[in-house]
């Protein structure tokens, strides 16, 4: 029995008359009662617009919001709280860097290096910067096991590179990229690093100071927190040099008819009313993750990943992408296809058995083009999943072809 299951009410739901088997954790994770309670309590007892009111309730809301920032800053090893900017999600965090840093510090002829496996959120914004500034996108290509070789890293990151944007974990192949190596190489040529940790920090500890990344983005909803809250970490000296991304209330110092000056960090990047309930939920999610511990998360996921890959290898006509072996640099994200069956049909057939997986291009079309596939199915694990979940998934999958009259 998984000791954490009881904390997740959704996982006790039935779907299509079957026990819900939730294997779409790379899309979003479920929320424990502790997080739901914290958000509920914030709205029931402390809700007010932060940073504005002079009355006690607003002061309390402000304090809770800033406490959440401190909790996140400590969790990721930021040197200062003001290096943590709250956003809506990883996409907004990455857009902030592209618009505010990219458009101001990347110039004609410069290069932006990124793995071809990047999620559209860490790829399309850089296409925009390249187009506007006349810069060039240089892609790093993974090998058949999903890894980026040392030669690829050395060859593609050069003196022309000004930005290296890369995910900690691929949301399609589950590959864990060598963050330290990439950051070291980028810094050796004077480039800044933008780490997309949307699929990383839910599963692996991240210390931004130790890794020396310049920017890091992630979403609360992929790590047990509510949707609508995300984080951008940035080194203070870089954030201070960057202009605001969104303009409006609370991000200003003085405003005159024809001009404005801007607030110091982090308010400079937090225009408008902020998602205090989301920040409170994120802080509670951080406390929950700390309680579970990354060691437990890794042990559970690694065991389930090995078990799933072994099971998939025994089902005929299934192709797994990014290597078929469990290994240290592979997370519990498994893309696969069933020969002769469209991934959407696979997902629908599994859904009838209560098994929730994702099917499609996973917002990583350039990678799928590179792999010469249109779409894949994707099962993704988290620490609250169980061997029974994997068994239900494998059993349902083994019936897909027969169900469609294609033989075993
Ligand atoms: C690697 C990666 N980066 C960025 C994102 C974007 O996250 P969000 O939709 O929360 O902004 C995702 C979402 O799936 C992702 O997997």
Residue 222 CA: nearest ligand 1 atom is: 10
**Ligand 1 pocket test: which of 24, 86, 93, 363 has the largest number of ligand atoms within 8 Å of its C-beta?**
363
Give pLDDT tens digits for 276-315. 999 999 999 999 999 999 999 999 999 999 999 999 999 9
Residue 88 CA: nearest ligand 1 atom is: 11
The answer to whether 122 and 193 are in contact (CB under 8 A) is no
CATH architecture assignment, domain 5-23+293-403: Alpha-Beta Complex (3.90)
Query: What is the whole-number distance in angstroms between the Cα of residue 123 and the centre of ligand 1?
Result: 11
**Ligand 1 pocket test: which of 219, 226, 229, 365 has the largest number of ligand atoms within 8 Å of its C-beta?**
219
- Domain spans of the chain? 5-23+293-403, 35-290
Three-state SS annotation for the chain? CCCCHHHCHHHHCEECCEECEECECCCCCCCCHHHHHHHHHHHHHHCCCCCCCCCHHHHHHHHHHHHHHHHHHHHHCCCCHHHEEEECCHHHHHHHHHHHHHHHHCCCCCEEEEECCCCHHHCHHHHHHHHHHCCEEEEECCCCCCCCCHHHHHHHCCCCEEEEEEECECCCCCEECCHHHHHHHHHHCCCEEEEECCCCCCCCCCCHHHHCCCEEEEEHHHHCCCCCCEEEEECHHHHHHCCCCCCCCCCEEEECCCCEEECCCCHHHCCCCCCHHHHHHHHHHHHHHHHHCHHHHHHHHHHHHHHHHHHHHCCCCEEECCCCCCCCCECCEEEEEECCECHHHHHHHHHHCCEECEEECCCCHHHHHHHCCCCEEEEECCCCCCHHHHHHHHHHHHCHHHHCCCCC
Query: What is the whole-number distance in angstroms between the Cα of residue 95 and the centre of ligand 1?
Result: 12
Residue having the nearest C-alpha atom to atom 9 of ligand 1: 91
Residue 92 CA: nearest ligand 1 atom is: 11
Query: What is the whole-number distance in angstroms between the Cα of residue 172 and the centre of ligand 1?
Result: 11
Residue 227 CA: nearest ligand 1 atom is: 10
Query: What is the whole-number distance in angstroms between the Cα of residue 90 and the centre of ligand 1?
Result: 6
| pLDDT in the model for residue 52 | 80
| pLDDT in the model for residue 407 | 79
Residue having the nearest C-alpha atom to atom 12 of ligand 1: 198
Active site residue 363: yes
Residues with CB under 6 A from ligand 1: 26, 89-91, 119, 121-122, 167, 171, 196, 198-199, 219
Q: Which of 82, 331, 363, 377 is catalytic?
A: 363
Query: What is the whole-number distance in angstroms between the Cα of residue 253 and the centre of ligand 1?
Result: 33
Query: What is the whole-number distance in angstroms between the Cα of residue 25 and the centre of ligand 1?
Result: 12
Residue 219 CA: nearest ligand 1 atom is: 10
- pTM for this model (two decimals): 0.98
Q: Report the 10 Å Cβ neighbour count for 315.
A: 17
| pLDDT in the model for residue 1 | 81
| pLDDT in the model for residue 53 | 81
Per-residue pLDDT tens listing for the chain (408 residues): 899 999 999 999 999 999 999 999 999 999 999 999 999 999 999 999 998 888 999 999 999 999 999 999 999 999 999 999 999 999 999 999 999 999 999 999 999 999 999 999 999 999 999 999 999 999 999 998 999 999 999 999 999 999 999 999 999 999 999 999 999 999 999 999 999 999 999 999 999 999 999 999 999 999 999 999 999 999 999 999 999 999 999 999 999 999 999 999 999 999 999 999 999 999 999 999 999 999 999 999 999 999 999 999 999 999 999 989 999 999 999 999 999 999 999 999 999 999 999 999 999 999 999 999 999 999 999 999 999 999 999 999 999 999 999 977
Q: Which of 3.40.50.2300, 3.40.640.10, 2.40.420.20, 1.10.230.10 is the CATH number of 35-290?
A: 3.40.640.10
């Amino acid at each position: 029995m998984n000791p954490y299951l009881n904390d997740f009410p959704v996982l006790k739901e039935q779907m299509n008359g079957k026990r819900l088997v939730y294997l779409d954790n790379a899309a979003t994770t479920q929320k424990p009662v502790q997080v739901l309670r914290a958000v509920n309590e914030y709205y029931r007892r402390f809700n007010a617009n932060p940073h504005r009111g002079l009355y006690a309730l607003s002061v309390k809301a402000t304090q809770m919001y800033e406490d959440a920032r401190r909790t996140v800053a400590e969790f990721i090893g930021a040197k200062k709280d003001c290096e943590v900017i709250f956003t809506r999600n990883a996409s907004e965090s990455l857009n902030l860097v592209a618009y505010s840093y990219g458009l101001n510090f990347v110039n004609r002829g410069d290069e932006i290096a990124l793995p071809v496996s990047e999620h559209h959120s860490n790829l399309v914004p850089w296409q925009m910067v390249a187009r506007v500034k006349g810069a060039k996108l240089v892609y790093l290509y993974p090998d058949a096991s999903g890894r980026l070789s040392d030669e690829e890293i050395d060859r593609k990151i050069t003196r022309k590179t000004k930005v290296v944007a890369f995910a900690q974990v691929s949301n399609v192949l589950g590959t864990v990229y060598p963050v330290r190596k990439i950051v070291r190489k980028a810094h050796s040529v004077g480039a800044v690093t933008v780490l997309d940790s949307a699929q990383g920090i839910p599963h692996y500890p991240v210390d931004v100071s130790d890794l020396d990344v310049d920017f890091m983005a992630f979403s609360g909803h992929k790590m047990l927190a509510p949707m609508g809250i995300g984080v951008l970490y940035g080194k203070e000296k870089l954030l201070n040099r960057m202009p605001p991304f969104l303009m409006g209330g609370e991000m200003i110092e003085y405003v005159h008819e024809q001009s404005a000056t801007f607030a110091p960090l982090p308010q400079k990047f937090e225009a408008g009313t902020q998602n205090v309930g989301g920040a409170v939920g994120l802080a509670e999610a951080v406390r929950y993750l700390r309680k579970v511990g990354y060691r437990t998360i890794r042990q559970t996921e690694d065991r389930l990943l090995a078990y799933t890959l072994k099971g998939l290898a025994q089902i005929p006509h299934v192709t797994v992408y990014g290597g078929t072996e469990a290994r240290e640099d592979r997370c519990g994200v498994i893309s696969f296809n069933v020969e002769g069956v469209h991934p959407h049909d696979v997902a629908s057939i599994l859904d009838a058995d209560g098994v929730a997986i994702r099917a499609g291009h996973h917002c990583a079309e350039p990678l799928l083009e590179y792999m010469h596939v249109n779409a894949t199915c994707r099962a993704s694990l988290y620490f609250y999943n169980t061997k029974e979940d994997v068994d239900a998934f494998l059993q349902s999958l083994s019936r897909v072809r027969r169900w469609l009259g294609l033989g075993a």
